Amino acid sequence: MFIEYIVGLSGLIAAGLFIYGLKAMSSPVTAVSGIVTAGYGMIFVIAATFLNLFNVTEAAKPHLLVNLVLAILALVLGCAWAGWRGRTVQMTAMPQMVAIFNGMGGGSAACLAAVELLSDDPTSPLHLTITVLGALIGCISLTGSIIAWAKLDGRMKKPVRFGGQRIFNAGVFLIALVLGALTVMQYATPMRELPRDLFFLAALLFGVCMTLPIGGADMPVVISLYNAFTGLAVGLEGYVMNNPALMIAGMVVGSAGTLLTVLMAKAMNRSLTNVLFSNFGDSTSSAKGPQGEMHSVDPADAATTMRYASSVIIIPGYGLAVAQAQQKLYEFVKILVADGVDVKFAIHPVAGRMPGHMNVLLAEAGVPYDMIYDMDDINDSFATTDVALVIGANDVVNPEALTDKSSPIYGMPILNAYKAHQVFVIKRGTGVGYSGVQNPLFFQKNCTMVFGDAQAVLSKMVEAVKSLGGS
């Protein structure tokens, strides 16, 4: 009895610390303390859970020692593996790492449900239904996250699509639902094992099917969605386990994750149904694209222009991260700032592979966050800016999104780089952007291309401004 109170209250304290931590994480100033606070909550509640060892069911008592050893072993192994992976992973590979850890959470919730469904204790149909529902969502999150990881990690290059895929997927989902219902109905009969096992297989399969046709560009939205899914699964299993801490933490993440997913989809001008059920990029064959001539200049000339400009806005894109050129870029920026140039970074909401991913990459290079501006805060400044420097970004500065109703990216908010007096674009070649659309900005009179790998171009720019000497 006494133990129940201690464990229950520890969960309450942990849930409070989680919410407080999440709140603190919403400002850059307090963000670090936020995750630490949440971390204390987690250690506390996990430690308190071990008190439940004194409170197990009669049937489990003979197995207690084995179970304890298994629990400690699993905890140590899981922490060691994830800690090692988390510490060593490259910052550019962070989105797929988040996908994997999220999938593990979904898998854990599914396992929890599976153990509950194995037991012979009599339970109510309501209880069972919620267990099965949590298992379904957890399984989808597990296999879906694994596919998302494979796509972001470049292990799965092309979206898998075939005729009638939507009907096939709907079929798999329906089968999973029916099997889930059978699992609930047959729970008390000896025939319960077959539908239960098949249900888990169908749920796992649906996670794969659901994610396969979605293109790599949409993966961040999908990961965010699965993050919300895992939260929901955890919340439902919390009800099953009579654990309010799981219910609160799970549901907070479920709703926060859903909101985040909607915000991300909105920033890309795609509705969630669009992301999940349409095949983006299929309409590219009809793209005629604007015609004209691109002007190009060598890096040293572009660098000199920026050195003697009074204001420069830099628009970094994923191409910058792929070339691992953030450090070089900041080196270049530091020289400009030292010479009195007003330099700002403009970040499109979907720059990088996730909202905020580009900010993380810049932060890793040491760029202070007060030099970094959101799209809404900086878009009016372009008209009064001397130079806009676009590095490895394309669709997010495509003015067609504002003007051409037939364009697939019409309506997507863009950074108004085209309004700057002079635009430099560092780009590897003349290719089109992720959406497959040609960018009329590149043919504008005030736009000049600097062709080459971002890392190499920026090195040349650094050399060029260094040779000019300090002012």
Q: Compute the least distance from the CB of residue 377 to other proteins, in Å.
A: 10
Kindly identify the residues of this chain, within the stretch 124-183, that bind other proteins according to CB under 8 A: 124, 126
Q: Tokens 């296999």, residue?
A: 143
Q: Which of 78, 125, 290, 292 binds other proteins (CB under 8 A)?
A: 78
Q: Compute the least distance from the CB of residue 72 to other proteins, in Å.
A: 9
Does residue 257 touch other proteins according to CB under 8 A?
yes
Q: How many CA atoms lie within 13 A of 139 on its CB side?
A: 25
Which of 18, 202, 192, 39 is CA-nearest to residue 110? 202
Q: Tokens 């890392």, residue?
A: 455
Q: Tokens 């250690």, residue?
A: 43
- CA-to-CA distance for 399 and 415, rounded, in angstroms? 9
Q: Which of 144, 317, 349, 408 binds other proteins (CB under 8 A)?
A: 349
Kindly identify the residues of this chain, within the stretch 79-98, that bind other proteins according to CB under 8 A: 79-83, 85-87, 89, 91, 94-95, 97-98
Does residue 231 touch other proteins according to CB under 8 A?
yes
- Cβ distance to other proteins smaller for residue 249 or 441: 249
| Whether residue 395 lies in the annotated active site | yes
- CA-to-CA distance for 417 and 58, rounded, in angstroms? 69
Q: Are 231 and 257 in contact (CB under 8 A)?
A: yes
Which of 79, 187, 99 is CA-nearest to residue 150? 99
Does residue 100 touch other proteins according to CB under 8 A?
yes
Q: Which of 125, 154, 290, 340 binds other proteins (CB under 8 A)?
A: 340
Q: How many helices and strands (H and E) does the chain possess?
A: 17, 6
Does residue 322 touch other proteins according to CB under 8 A?
no
Sign of torsion over alpha carbons 79, 81, 82, 87: positive
Does residue 256 touch other proteins according to CB under 8 A?
yes
Count residues binding other proteins (CB under 8 A).
Answer: 132
Does residue 221 touch other proteins according to CB under 8 A?
no
Does residue 430 touch other proteins according to CB under 8 A?
no
Q: Which stretch binds other proteins (CB under 8 A): 77-85, 184-192, 202-210, 428-436?
A: 77-85
- CA-to-CA distance for 195 and 253, rounded, in angstroms? 31
Q: Which of 158, 291, 370, 429 binds other proteins (CB under 8 A)?
A: 370
Q: Which stretch binds other proteins (CB under 8 A): 38-46, 163-171, 181-189, 462-470?
A: 38-46
Structure tokens belonging to residue 72: 């400690």
What angle do helix axes 193-211 and 125-152 make, rounded to 10 degrees?
A: 30
Which of 135, 100, 131 is CA-nearest to residue 206? 135
Does residue 207 touch other proteins according to CB under 8 A?
no
- CA-to-CA distance for 187 and 129, rounded, in angstroms? 11
Q: Compute the least distance from the CB of residue 7 to other proteins, in Å.
A: 9
Does residue 294 touch other proteins according to CB under 8 A?
no
- CA-to-CA distance for 179 and 205, rounded, in angstroms? 13
Q: Compute the least distance from the CB of residue 4 to other proteins, in Å.
A: 12
Does residue 273 touch other proteins according to CB under 8 A?
no
Q: Compute the least distance from the CB of residue 327 to other proteins, in Å.
A: 13
- Three-state DSSP state, 389: strand
Q: Compute the least distance from the CB of residue 433 to other proteins, in Å.
A: 21
The enclosing H or E element of 425 equals strand 422-427
Which one of the listed residues 218, 376, 386, 395 is annotated catalytic?
395
Q: Which of 6, 63, 271, 411 binds other proteins (CB under 8 A)?
A: 63
- Cβ distance to other proteins smaller for residue 60 or 188: 60
Q: Which of 92, 109, 407, 440 binds other proteins (CB under 8 A)?
A: 109
Q: Compute the least distance from the CB of residue 265 to other proteins, in Å.
A: 13
The enclosing H or E element of 350 equals none
Q: Are 201 and 102 in contact (CB under 8 A)?
A: no
- Terminal alpha carbon distance of the chain: 76
| Strand order through the sheet with 387-391 | 372-374, 342-347, 311-316, 387-391, 422-427, 447-451
Q: Which stretch binds other proteins (CB under 8 A): 29-37, 170-178, 392-400, 437-445?
A: 29-37
Q: Which of 206, 218, 237, 427 binds other proteins (CB under 8 A)?
A: 237
Q: Which of 2, 66, 158, 190 binds other proteins (CB under 8 A)?
A: 66
- Cβ distance to other proteins smaller for residue 49 or 274: 49
- Give the active site residues: 395
